[in-house]
């Protein structure tokens, strides 16, 4: 009996020592993250090994106390089988020790080893089922409570592909042992010679041993479960807060569609792209560069923010993806990342709505003492590459292809309030567009002329039309001399020519020139015969068309006019109106 006592106590001390060593090691190794839910698979398996070692130590200590107090003279206990149980447990303990060593080796090499996880979890199921059989699933509540607690812990710690096999193995072994016991093939609860209950009374030693097991193991696991649940709740709260913060932060930089696709499928962050047909929109504020030179930086930002606030809402309403904000310009795509069958129609409707919304933008500018602005929009339908472009350290969701450059070229032919589209957009959108005009242009870099169309509205479910603004062209009582220079791209040409403004409106003028001008040509103009201060001010315009049959008088649409020149023009218009009325 002395040997049994020593063996049982040693069988208790060694598992306890392993349990505390493993637990201390895991706490130190994960000191920056105390949430077991976020540990690696191997570390969670090591936690399970520590827990089972502690439970084994409790079981062996109960046996040791029983032998110490009773010298083994307990009529309901089979002390011969108990020695065999301790020997058998020594073998199972050696297996746990081997799994512990393997786990310590794997935790830095293969921390998410699924094979190791399956082995540890399945071995745990075999051990728990074995304890339930040895003590008796009906007679002793401890093993059943242990199996319930361990099962709950497993489903909380591990993925279902690891937890469900544990449940399957445990149920098969328990049901199998119950059937074998019922058939008489194996004895029930072989640790007992007979029931510890007699005449409705439970044996005192059995009660104390059962309570010791239940009152130590179950509260320990319950405490661990409560800790993990609390950590899980805290993590969910932090995840929700972080998700809301990310949406608030990156929602300003990415479209909702792109952000949603990334949240739903993190693999979308990988570099790469796909070929897709999209409708590309390019917008630009006419003459904004010259305008920003006259304003303070704070005013420029205030003006842009008010403009984008209105435009972004409209773009999102029509399911456009804002690909990039380039200064005062917007690059928008329709049809990516979400496929939109009616993308061309949506793009045209969006462009018309944006042009009409410029009235709201300019009203706000006037209230804030800021100048008004005009916007041009170009649309092109093309097959491009869309996806994450860049490097592993810095990338963006972008669009690449010649179709993007073509959209920019089309937009460059617009003046304020116009929407120009390519032939591909007109074809894709169908016959619900109202086309106000068309022209053939030769964009920079193109080998053949490109036909572009001026859109005045769109029918169908959108039923939108551009707001008509009367030019109010007035013939001047006295012509205004000017000097104009043809702009070649973004550069100013060298040759300066003379001309005269003969008719004038709020946003355009008719100018008699020294010779013919190409349609859509950009001009840099300065006033002649004025004081030096005013003569230094330049304004810009785009050639729209010849006035009547004359090839010397052209209608020029202003794209940027300084306030001093605008006031000068206003005074000439008022003087001409008074002259007309007096006559």
Most confident of 59-68, 74-83, 145-154, 226-235: 145-154
Whether residue 251 lies inside any domain: the answer is no
288 and 218 assigned to the same domain = no
Whether residue 250 lies inside any domain: the answer is no
Number of domains in the chain: 3
The answer to whether residue 100 scores a pLDDT higher than 80 is yes
21 and 81 assigned to the same domain = yes
pLDDT digits (tens, 9 = 90+) for 374-390: 899 999 999 998 887 77
Q: What average pLDDT score do residues 406-428 get?
A: 92
Q: From CA 455, how far away is CA 465, in angstroms rounded?
A: 9
Q: From CA 518, how far away is CA 541, in angstroms rounded?
A: 13
The answer to whether residue 367 scores a pLDDT higher than 80 is yes
445 and 481 assigned to the same domain = no
The answer to whether residue 294 scores a pLDDT higher than 70 is yes
- Which carries the bigger pLDDT value, residue 336 or residue 427? 427
Q: Which of 405, 433, 465 marks a domain boundary?
A: 465
513 and 537 assigned to the same domain = yes
76 and 160 assigned to the same domain = yes
DSSP for 183-225, please give it. HTSS-SSTTBSS-SEETTEE-HHHHHHHHHHHHHHHHHHHHHH
**Least trusted range by pLDDT, from 178-187, 188-197, 235-244, 356-365:** 188-197
The answer to whether residue 267 scores a pLDDT higher than 70 is no
H or E element at residue 343: helix 343-367
Structure tokens at 310: 């209105």
Q: What is the mean pLDDT of the chain?
A: 81
- Which carries the bigger pLDDT value, residue 517 or residue 218? 517
Q: Which of 465, 486, 510 marks a domain boundary?
A: 465
Closest-CA residue to 329 (of 277, 288, 278): 288
The answer to whether residue 576 scores a pLDDT higher than 90 is no
pLDDT digits (tens, 9 = 90+) for 11-49: 667 777 888 888 888 888 888 887 787 889 999 899 888
76 and 212 assigned to the same domain = yes
Whether residue 176 lies inside any domain: the answer is yes
Q: Which of 413, 444, 465 marks a domain boundary?
A: 465
Judge contact between 246 and 266, C-beta under 8 A: no
Res. 570 pLDDT band, cuts 50 70 90: confident
What CATH number has the domain bearing residue 358?
3.30.70.1230
For residue 38, what pLDDT is reported? 81
401 and 538 assigned to the same domain = no
For 44, other C-beta atoms within 10 Å of its C-beta total 24
For residue 240, what pLDDT is reported? 77
Whether residue 247 lies inside any domain: the answer is no
- Omega of the bond prior to 337 within 30 degrees of 0, cis? yes
Percent of the chain surpassing pLDDT 90: 28
Q: What average pLDDT score do residues 183-209 get?
A: 70
Res. 183 pLDDT band, cuts 50 70 90: confident
- Which carries the bigger pLDDT value, residue 319 or residue 391? 319
416 and 290 assigned to the same domain = yes
- Which carries the bigger pLDDT value, residue 562 or residue 396? 562
Res. 254 pLDDT band, cuts 50 70 90: low
40 and 178 assigned to the same domain = yes
- Which carries the bigger pLDDT value, residue 88 or residue 52? 52
Whether residue 255 lies inside any domain: the answer is no
331 and 196 assigned to the same domain = no
Q: What average pLDDT score do residues 204-229 get?
A: 68
What is the Cα 148 distance to its own chain's centre? 39
For residue 452, what pLDDT is reported? 93
443 and 482 assigned to the same domain = no
DSSP for 279-297, please give it. EEEEEEETTHHHHHHHS-H
For residue 213, what pLDDT is reported? 63
- Which carries the bigger pLDDT value, residue 122 or residue 515? 122
Q: Range of 286's domain?
A: 264-465
Q: From CA 26, how far away is CA 104, in angstroms rounded?
A: 10
Q: Give the predicted TM-score (pTM) of the model.
A: 0.58
Interior angle at CA 8, CA 169 and CA 18, nearest 5:
65
Q: From CA 511, how far away is CA 526, in angstroms rounded?
A: 12
Whether residue 410 lies inside any domain: the answer is yes
487 and 459 assigned to the same domain = no
């Amino acid at each position: 009996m002395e040997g049994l006592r020593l063996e049982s106590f040693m069988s208790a001390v060694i598992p306890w020592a392993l349990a505390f060593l493993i637990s201390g090691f895991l706490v130190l190794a994960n000191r920056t993250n105390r949430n077991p839910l976020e540990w690696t698979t191997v570390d969670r398996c090591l936690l399970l090994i520590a827990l089972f070692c502690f439970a084994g130590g409790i079981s062996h200590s109960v046996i040791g106390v029983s032998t110490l107090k009773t010298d083994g003279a307990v009529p309901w206990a089979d002390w011969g089988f108990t020695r065999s149980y301790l020997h058998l447990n020594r073998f199972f303990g050696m297996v746990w020790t081997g799994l512990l060593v393997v786990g310590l080796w794997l935790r830095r090499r293969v921390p998410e080893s699924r094979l190791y996880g399956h082995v540890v979890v399945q071995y745990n199921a075999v051990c728990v089922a074995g304890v339930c059989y040895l003590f008796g699933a009906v007679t002793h509540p401890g093993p059943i409570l242990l199996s319930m607690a361990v099962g709950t812990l497993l489903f909380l710690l591990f993925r279902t592909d690891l937890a469900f096999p544990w449940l399957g193995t445990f149920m098969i072994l328990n049901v199998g042992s119950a059937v074998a016991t019922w058939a008489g093939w194996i004895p029930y609860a072989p640790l007992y010679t007979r029931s510890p209950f007699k005449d409705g009374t439970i044996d005192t030693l059995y009660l104390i041993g059962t309570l010791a097991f239940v009152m130590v193991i179950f509260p320990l696991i319950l405490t661990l479960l409560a800790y993990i649940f609390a950590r899980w709740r805290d993590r969910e709260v932090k995840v929700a807060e972080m998700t809301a913060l990310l949406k608030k932060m990156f929602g300003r930089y990415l479209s909702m569609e792109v952000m949603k696709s990334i949240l739903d499928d993190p693999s979308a962050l990988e570099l790469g792209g796909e070929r897709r047909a999209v409708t590309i929109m390019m917008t630009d504020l006419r003459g904004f560069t010259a305008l920003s030179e006259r304003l303070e930086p704070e005013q420029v930002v205030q003006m842009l923010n008010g403009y984008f606030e209105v435009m972004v809402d409209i773009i999102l309403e029509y399911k456009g993806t804002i690909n990039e904000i380039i200064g005062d310009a917007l690059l928008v795509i329709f049809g990516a990342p979400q496929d939109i069958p009616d993308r061309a129609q949506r793009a045209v409707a969006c462009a018309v709505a944006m042009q009409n919304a410029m009235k709201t933008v300019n009203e706000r500018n006037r209230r804030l003492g800021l100048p008004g602005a005009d916007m041009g929009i170009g649309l092109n339908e093309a097959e491009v590459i869309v996806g994450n472009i860049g490097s592993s350290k810095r990338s963006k969701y972008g669009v690449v292809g010649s179709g993007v450059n073509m959209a920019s070229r089309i937009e460059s032919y617009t003046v304020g309030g116009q929407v120009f589209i390519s032939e591909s957009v007109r074809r894709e959108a169908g016959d619900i567009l109202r086309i106000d005009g068309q022209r053939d242009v030769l964009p920079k870099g193109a080998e053949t002329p490109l036909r572009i169309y001026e859109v005045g509205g769109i029918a169908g479910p959108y039923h939108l039309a551009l707001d008509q603004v009367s030019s109010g062209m007035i013939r001047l009582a006295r012509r205004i001399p000017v000097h104009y220079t043809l702009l070649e791209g973004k550069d100013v040409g060298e040759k300066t020519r003379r001309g005269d403004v003969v008719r004038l409106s709020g946003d355009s003028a008719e100018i008699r020139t020294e010779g013919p001008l190409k349609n859509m040509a950009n001009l840099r103009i300065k006033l002649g015969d004025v004081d030096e201060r005013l003569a230094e001010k330049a304004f810009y315009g785009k050639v729209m068309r010849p006035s009547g049959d004359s090839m010397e008088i052209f209608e020029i649409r202003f794209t940027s006019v300084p306030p001093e020149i605008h006031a000068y023009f206003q005074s000439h218009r008022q003087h001409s109106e008074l002259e007309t009325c007096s006559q």
